[in-house]
Structure 1
Amino acid sequence: MTNQIQNLKGFRDFLPVEAAKRKWLRDKLASICEQWGFAPLETPTLEPLDLFTGQIGEDEKLFFKFKDQGDRDVALRYDQTVPTCRVIAQYQNTLTFPFKRYQIQPAFRAEKPQKGRYREFTQVDADIFGIKTPDADAETIALSLDIYKQLGFKRALVRINTRVLFKDMPYEAITSIDKIKKIGDDGVIREMESKGIELSKAKEYLSY
């Protein structure tokens, strides 16, 4: 029996019918973002590894990283935010602030493939840089709600978090809570306990 060549685990092919639907959705999302005054931004698939190192926390183990032909440590794009920060630092004398940008690009994470989670996925990101007031946050939240509305969703729930709630929380607890969608409440509590956090404190942190 001849071995059939297949795509790598955690990566997907999109045949014409599905690819057309994805293109329609990308175009629709881009159109809505531009209605709100956000400009498109694209960054390279490959970035210097040290751009991400120290920015992602314990999820650094999920980087797709390797040495290129020039013996440089590089990584596939993990998210959209960190490369955007690099763009702002690199082109700060060229960009106009407030800088409102959106990105619709693939991101890559070397995690265990499972239902709904892949090693390559498209990430939609919109941010406003250069405004210190809550206005920027309010606008991006409103944009999110408008996206759902224009896509035809009748009801949408936006969950909001803030760093103020976490200022007195240990880093070990924060990284565990960040996994709540993956492992659930009980899994988060067990992980915090495994890191030396008392059960009562773990439950308190989870209630924030």
Structure 2
Amino acid sequence: MAGRFRPLDRDGLVTHLADRVRELPGRARVLVDGPPPAGPVPLATTVAERLRAAGRSSLAVDADDFLRPASVRLEFGHTDPDMFLDGWLDEPALRREVLGPLAPDGSGYVLPRLRDTARDRAFRDSPVGLGADGVLLLAGGRLLGRGLPAELTVHLRMGRAALERRLPADLAWTAAAYARYEAEGDPGGYADVLVMSDHPDRPALRDT
């Protein structure tokens, strides 16, 4: 793994990412990838808040609000690692409703949420307009290596031992799947920003 890491606190990471985004001209799509204990969604939400405070329209979207219906997602059971890695996310919906609209020729209107997985039914959210320089931060696990369009990619890497300590009991089975995602896909190898997140409040940063 090339590059040096430097330690910083969570606020320093937010500042760094907000600064990186501000360097991007026009509309920007940012993927914040990492397992739930690494906090990709809270991180993306805080970065979006920081950007809005600085005058740039921004929206954080939780990828788990764009999962496929339970009848498809859980076809092979609730703990199938292959489906978890490759079949849970509704990629066409993410491209159509979230990432496509922020392309240079897109409408600029992003759907914040698609499906309530707890009730297995659609949300009734209206699209949100982000303007000519809007920023979309899509956050969640298993986002990299899919060819999702983005101007900046961030990977929060958490080792398996840390994952096993921090995952809730009902998600403990996903630790092996996330370890496989790291080993087979090497998301940190090509992310623009790699953050070592075994201790989320004391991350270490490598960016390119």
Q: TM-score range by the shorter chain?
A: under 0.3
Which structure exhibits the higher relative contact order, with contacts defined as CA atoms closer than 8 Å and separated by 6 or more residues?
2
- Which structure: greater strand fraction? 2
TM-score scaled by structure 1? Answer: 0.24
The structure whose Rg is larger is 1
